[in-house]
Amino acid sequence: MQKNALHILLADDDDDDRLFFKDAFEEVKVQTKVEFVFDGLQLMEHLNNPDNKLPDILFLDLNMPKKTGKECLIEIKKTERLKNLIIAIYSTSSSDEDIEDTFIEGANIYIKKPSDFNALKKIINEVVTLNWHYHTSGLNRDNFLLSLK
Amino acid sequence: MKWIPKFNSSNSLRVIFIIAIFILLFLSSIAYKHNRDLNESSKLVIHTYEINVQLERLISAIKDAETGQRGYIITSNPKFLTPYIYSRDKVNRSFITLKKLTSDNPKQKQNLENLFSLIIQEFKTFENCLKYSNPKTYDKRKLDNYLFSGRILMENIRFQVEKMKDIEKKFLEKRLKKYDEEISLGPIFSISLFSTALTFILLAYRQISRDLIRLKIYNKKLLISSGLMSESEKIGQFSTWQWDLNTDKMDYSDNQFRILGFQPNAFVPNKDTFLDFVHPEDKEAIAASMENIINNKELPFSYYKIIKSDNEIRHFKSTGKLLTDQNGNNILLGINFDITDEHLLNIELQERNNELEKSNKELASFNHVASHDLQEPLRKIQTFISRISETDRAAISDNAKEYLLKIETSAKRMRVLIDDLLLFSRTNTTKKEFIKSDLNGLLENAKSELAVIIDEKKGSLKVGKLPKLYVIPYQIEQLFINLIGNSLKYSKPEIAPQIIIHCEKILSNEIPELIDQPFKKFYKITFTDNGMGFDPQFKDNIFVLFQRLHSKTDYPGTGIGLAICKKIVENHKGYIKADSKPSEGSVFTVFLPE
């Protein structure tokens, strides 16, 4: 069972956000294994370490100390081993600039951190059950930002 | 160069003088010819008289000989023969003289020869008469014969002489007549010529005096204008210089000396003098542009510094142009402006501008960062509240429940405030890309955005045809959302809101607020509603950030919506205004340039 579990990695420096994230995943019905890194540097170390299994989905906060999410994104997309990683931007910001930039740099989806725990659960459910192959091939600026109906 | 008078008269003057000189030359040549003719005529007269005299002498000598011969024949006294002997010499002498005198006239020459042969014959007759009157050889019949033939010869000689005299006389008469003709024609001709010459000279004199008067007037004008120019240069802090390329001579205006810190004409400038005053930093550039000026025929505006004689640094702006004067000389005209004051003002302005820009940027980034960073804790507050489950809520007191609800409401309000504030700051800071868009489409988008509220309030929209304009699409959409949203929000209770959107084309000069805009044609879009309206004294206030006319319990809002509208319209170089009377609805009018 554990082997089939979805491997999730969240890079976020905020304790509370990690807590919400963890709790939300526990309530999601899909089998998942959630790991955390606390800043951009740690994230890159983790990903570049061949001993670590690559996550199925990387949730990436943009505003992090030491190395920002955008810098990490650019670095990942430049690295041969990592460039096919599915990356979900997970940020407080919903500025057009951030959305535009991360879309261009090749992120797969943009999630604005919700201010409601139930909304967060819905989002996570949506993301983990998403058909990534289908989503990525039809990706455009309009469906890049995840919005819940 | 308009003020330079054209002295065309100098050419006519030249012509007049040349004509006068020719007339005078002509006159003197005629006078000379007359003189010569007169001389010749008198010579001829003398010549004729001389011939006549000599002919008379000849005749008298022959007569003497005849008389002597007759006396001798009658008296046989040889004393009577003396005049006869002398007469031969006299005849010979006269003949030689006559021969000389008639050498120029072949006809007279011929006559003279005839005369001479007659005279020779006469003398032969005389000899024979003497011979046959001599008592030794006396022969009466022969003597009579010879005397008679001598008589006839004498008649012939006289006739011949008269003939010659006649010819001379006729010749003289002819000469005199011709001379008289010339002499009589001369004076009228000369006098008329002389008066023509005099007229020409008088004309020339008049022209000269006229030119002189004109020259004086122009000179006076020139003096005034050069005085004014010099004064203007002084007042306007500029100066001029002229560089004559043909003579390589440089001329400074008085003020050129002054702005370099000298008295006028303190030194004699040449083309490199000016460079000595140019600040070392600018010297190279100015030297290069001075070189280029000849090729380009003009000097583009150059800005540089100079060092005055008292080491003061002044800022200059210079320009110049190559001019060609009436005589085809190339003259380079240069103008220097002392723009130190403007320059310093400009620097100050630039500094203030920079400060303003900086503070504006700071404000914008503060606004953005503040609202951004404020979101984070707020989101957590809201998330934490949402995590308090129903079971948790059941366990707390009613008071605590009430407080929790109030925390939730406040957090929500803060969320709206922050979102609006973010929107407002984005209206300012985001890229302004103008795209030709159909405003009808943007209005449709706005309507669908507001569909829930329109439905809820049972509102109706009457929309006229809107134009296609170059706009920032999402901003215009936001403008429509805010304006329609505003009308829906402040509708009268119990009355279904109705909004009429109308558009027409107008000219900027019809609206005083648009006159300063660079565009001429505008679209006037009005949003007329049947809502509760407002007191017209607040019609400007409602567009100010955070200004609200109603309490937030009655009408929740942040006071940002209309401020955003104003910002958006200003971004499009347009103008927005509102008109209303309480409880009579309001009209929002947006002007957007074509």
Q: How many CA within 13 A on the CB side of residue B558?
A: 19
CA torsion sign for B269, B275, B279, B282 is: positive
**Structure pTM?**
0.52
Backbone angles phi, psi at B310, to 5 degrees: -95, 20
Whole-angstrom Cα distance, residue B32 to residue B24? 12
Q: Indicate the residue among B413, B430, B447 that finishes a domain.
A: B430
pLDDT band of B10, cuts 50, 70, 90 = low
Using an 8 Å CB-CB cutoff, list chain A residues near B445.
none
| pLDDT score for B184 | 66
Contacts with A, B 426-455, CB within 8 Å: 426, 430
Exposure letters B345-374 (e unless 16+ CB within 10 A, then b): eeeeeeeeeeeeeeeeeeeeeebbeebbeb
Domain count, chain B: 4
Last residue of a domain, one of B430, B445, B464: B430
- Quick one: pLDDT at residue B590? 92
pLDDT category, B578, cuts 50, 70, 90? very high
Q: What average pLDDT does chain A have? A: 84
Look at residue B110 and tell me if it is in a domain. Answer: yes
Residue B249 lies in a domain: yes
Residue B8 pLDDT: 57
| Cβ–Cβ contact B375 with A under 8 A | yes
The reply to whether B327 and B386 lie within a common domain is no
User: Is residue B332 scored above 90 in pLDDT?
Assistant: no
In percent, the amount of chain B with pLDDT more than 90 equals: 12
What counts of helices (H) and strands (E) characterise chain B?
Answer: 14, 12
pLDDT at position B541 over 90: no
In a domain, B198, yes or no: yes
pLDDT at A2: 44
Domain span holding position B302: 237-338
Task: Indicate the pLDDT class of residue B2, thresholds 50, 70 and 90.
Answer: very low
Same domain, B324 and B374: no
Of B170, B213, B175, B190, the residue nearest B5 (C-alpha):
B213
Q: Show residues of chain A in contact with B378, CB under 8 Å.
A: 115
Paired tokens of B94:
């006269």
B415 contacts in A (CB within 8 Å)?
115
CA distance B383 to chain A (A): 5
Mean pLDDT, residues A129-138: 72
Confirm or reject contact between B410 and chain A (CB < 8 A).
no
In chain A, what's the furthest Cα-to-Cα distance?
Answer: 41
DSSP letters of B254-319? HHHHHHTTS-TTSS---TTHHHHHB-HHHHHHHHHHHHHHHHHSEEEEEEEEEE-TTS-EEEEEEE
Name the residue facing B383 among A20, A93, A97 (closest C-beta): A20
Count CB-CB contacts under 10 A for residue B59. 19
pLDDT score of B589 more than 90: yes
Tell me if B544 is assigned to some domain: yes
B169 shares a domain with B89: yes
Is the same domain home to B29 and B177? yes
Q: Does residue B220 lie in a domain region?
A: no
pLDDT at residue A10, as a whole number: 92
pLDDT in tens, B82-99: 877 788 888 888 888 888
DSSP for B512-563 reads GGGTTSS-SEEEEEEEEE-S----GGGTTGGGSTT--SS-TTTS---S-HHH
Q: Beta strands B575-580 and B586-593: pairing type?
A: antiparallel
Q: Find, in chain A, the residue whose alpha carbon is nearest to that of B374.
A: A92
Those residues of chain A whose CB sits closer than 8 Å to some CB in chain B are 14, 16-17, 20, 23, 92-93, 95-97, 113-118, 120
* Per-residue confidence (pLDDT) for residue B5, from 0 to 100: 47
What was the ipTM of the complex prediction? 0.83
Name residues whose C-beta falls within 8 Å of residue B62's C-beta, 6 or more positions apart in sequence: B87, B91, B119, B122, B154, B157
With respect to residue B354, please indicate whether it lies within any of the assigned structural domains. no
Q: Which of B453, B431, B475, B438 lies closest to B564, judged by CA?
A: B475
pLDDT higher than 80, residue A27 = yes
Say if residue B166's pLDDT is above 90.
no
Q: Which has more confidence, B190 or B344?
A: B344
Span B504-531, pLDDT tens digits: 998 888 888 877 778 888 899 999 999 8
CB B380 within 8 Å of CB B407: no
Q: Mean pLDDT lowest for which of A33-37, A76-80, A113-117, B44-48? A: B44-48
DSSP state letter for B458: T
Instruction: Please check whether residues B445 and B409 belong to one and the same domain.
Output: no
Same domain, B41 and B146: yes
Do residues B454 and B551 both lie within one domain? yes
Residue B353 inside a domain? The answer is no
CB proximity B382 to A under 8 Å? yes
Q: What is the DSSP letter of A145?
A: B
Burial class (CB in 10 A: 0-12, 13-18, 19+), B13: middle
Percent of chain B with pLDDT over 70: 96
Pairing of strands A6-11, A57-60: parallel
Mean pLDDT of B557-581: 88
Most confident listed range (A135-144, B119-128, B375-384, B506-515): B375-384
Name the amino acid, one letter, at B364: A
Confidence of residue B492 (pLDDT cuts 50, 70, 90): confident
What CATH number did the domain enclosing B273 receive? 3.30.450.20
User: Rounded to an integer, what distance in angstroms lies between the CA atom of residue B218 and that of residue B2?
Assistant: 12
Same domain, yes or no: B525 and B578 = yes
Last residue of a domain, one of B191, B207, B223: B207
Residue B225 within a domain: no
The Cα B566–Cα B564 span in angstroms is 5
Does B384 share its domain with B449? Answer: no
B384 and B279 together in one domain = no
pLDDT tens profile A37-65? 988 888 998 988 888 888 989 999 988 88
Same domain, B168 and B253: no
Q: Where does the pLDDT of residue B422 fall: very low under 50, low under 70, confident under 90, or very high at 90 and above?
A: confident
* Residue A147: per-residue pLDDT: 65
Spatial contact of B262 and B249, defined as CB atoms under 8 Å apart: no
Residue type, B451: A
Q: Say what the pLDDT of residue B429 is.
A: 67
- Per-residue pLDDT at B220 exceeds 90: yes
Is the CB of A117 less than 8 angstroms away from the CB of B387?
yes
pLDDT average, residue stretch A108-119 = 88
In the block, which residue shows the tokens 């995840």? Answer: A146
Give residue A11's pLDDT band: very low, low, confident or very high (50, 70, 90).
Answer: very high
- Asked if B314 and B379 sit in the same domain, the reply is no
The percent of residues in chain A predicted with pLDDT above 90, rounded, is 13
Asked if pLDDT for residue A133 goes beyond 80, the answer is no
Residue of B174, B116, B122, B177 lying closest to B153 (CA atoms): B122
* Predicted local confidence at residue A60, as pLDDT: 92
Q: What pLDDT score was predicted for residue B186?
A: 65
Lowest-confidence segment of A44-58, B71-85, B156-170, B223-237 by average pLDDT: B71-85
**List of chain B residues whose C-beta atoms are within 8 Å of the C-beta of residue A114:** 379, 383
CB atoms within 10 A of CB B254: 19
Element (H, E) at B332: strand B330-338
- pLDDT of B4 reads 47
CATH of residue B510's domain is 3.30.565.10
Task: Kindly determine whether residue B383 and residue A93, on different chains, have CB atoms separated by under 8 Å.
Answer: no
Q: Do A115 and B415 touch (CB under 8 A)?
A: yes
What would the mean pLDDT of B448-462 be, rounded to a whole number? 88
Nearest to B1, CA basis, from B336, B327, B335? B327
What distances in angstroms separate CA A62 from CA A100, A139, B238, one per listed residue?
Answer: 13, 20, 60
What is the pLDDT at residue A1? 38
> What is the predicted pLDDT for the residue at B1?
42
Q: Does B263 reach chain A within 8 Å, measured CB to CB?
A: no
Identity of the residue in B379, B426, B430 whose CB atom sits nearest the CB atom of A115:
B379
Give B263's contacts (C-beta < 8 A, 6+ positions apart).
B257
Residue B484 has pLDDT above 90, yes or no: yes
Chain B interface test: which of A22, A100, A101, A117 (most B C-beta within 10 Å): A117
Question: Which contiguous run of DSSP H or E holds residue A58?
Answer: strand A57-60
Q: Report residue B415's pLDDT band, with 50, 70 and 90 as the boundaries.
A: confident
Measured in whole angstroms, the distance separating CA B24 from the mean position of its chain's CA atoms is: 43
